[in-house]
Amino acid sequence: MLPSPIHDQVQAIAADHSSGATDLTLRAADAFAALTWSKDLRQPFASAVRELAAALIDAQPSMAPIFNLANAILLAMDQVDDAFAQRERVHEVCQESLTGLRQAGPIIAKYAQELIPPKGVVMTHSHSSSVRETLLAAHATGQIFSVICTESRPVGEGVYLAQRLAQAGIDVRLVIDAAMYHYLPGVQVIMVGADQLAPNGLVNKMGTALLAVAAQTWQTPIYSLCSTQKFLPRPAGDRTQKLQPGAEIVDREITGVRIENFYFDSTPLERLTGIVCEEGILDPAAARQRLLGQTIHPYLAD
């Protein structure tokens, strides 16, 4: 069993429904770091690491960076034998992963800024730190554009993004999710984030797939801003879904009505114009080929 403080960290990550994948992965790395030097372990260190890896993945099953962090740690631990060396490898992998995550954002923003036309309108759905960084960086360089944010029900993280952009002086409109199609004729480019990019689709906030279908109707380019740490070679499936509290949709029980509240959907890669990562702008075929080159530790393989 994991030490109580680390168990609490996992539970806090599981309960967080508004932070993006990058922020959640930083906290997952903190949990691994705490375990690395914990003096309260009641089991062998390697066993505790596997337990924590499984718990973190289960806490946020849609978040590929957490899976990739856990996967990299387990693969690295297999290269050494004694517990002290294993602890050092866990620490090193955490630092390498965090460095990669932090460095990816500005590089992605640089590529993505070039997709914003002068005086154009950008639409975004949910709250992506990569999208936020891109828009703020573009505005800071003097680019003139406006943004349409969806509210991103049921948690409303799009409201937070709209506030952040407006505070920086960007012209922002906040609309309900169901108004996506209505506003698209006036949109030049769509930018969304990613929780996971798998061979069979982009896992992101519920409504992304609908937005991609609508975008094709109006021939509006749609890009996912996604670091390679969110690339996952196994297909996205039901493991990414957890039924969330119905009270987030309706604050009372309705006799005979089952409320289903899921946070994520999967958009086929072919529905996207491209994927902006730290390696450049990849078309769907190139992204799929890039995905299939990763190795999954046997402990995490389904």
User: Mean pLDDT in the chain?
Assistant: 92
pLDDT of residue 100: 85
Q: Which of 195, 238, 265, 283 is catalytic?
A: 195
Do 8 and 50 lie in one domain? The reply is yes
Count of domains observed in the chain: 2
Domain housing 221: 107-291
Between residues 3 and 265, the one the model is more confident about:
265
Q: Is the pLDDT score of 238 beyond 80? A: no
- Average pLDDT (210-228) is 96
Looking at 40-44, 180-184, 193-197, which range is the least confident one? Answer: 40-44
Q: Which of 1-10, 153-162, 286-295 has the highest mean pLDDT?
A: 153-162
Q: What is the pLDDT of residues 50-94, one digit of tens each?
A: 999 999 999 988 788 899 999 999 999 999 988 889 999 999 999
- Average pLDDT (177-193) is 97
Q: Does residue 8 have an active-site annotation?
A: no
Q: What is the pLDDT of residues 9-50, one digit of tens each?
A: 999 999 987 776 678 888 999 999 999 888 888 888 999 999
pLDDT of residue 101: 80
Residue at 186 is within a domain: yes
Residue at 301 is within a domain: no
8-state DSSP, 231:
B
Whichever domain contains 87, its CATH number is: 1.20.120.420
Of 104, 139, 162, which residue is a domain's last?
104
User: For residues 110-141, b (16+ Cβ closer than 10 Å) or e, as one string?
Assistant: ebbbebbeeebbbbbbbbbbbbbbbbbbbbee
The string of DSSP letters for 163-185 reads HHHHHTT-EEEEE-GGGHHHHGG
Q: Is the pLDDT score of 240 beyond 60? A: no
pTM: 0.83
Do 129 and 23 lie in one domain? The reply is no
Whichever domain contains 212, its CATH number is: 3.40.50.10470
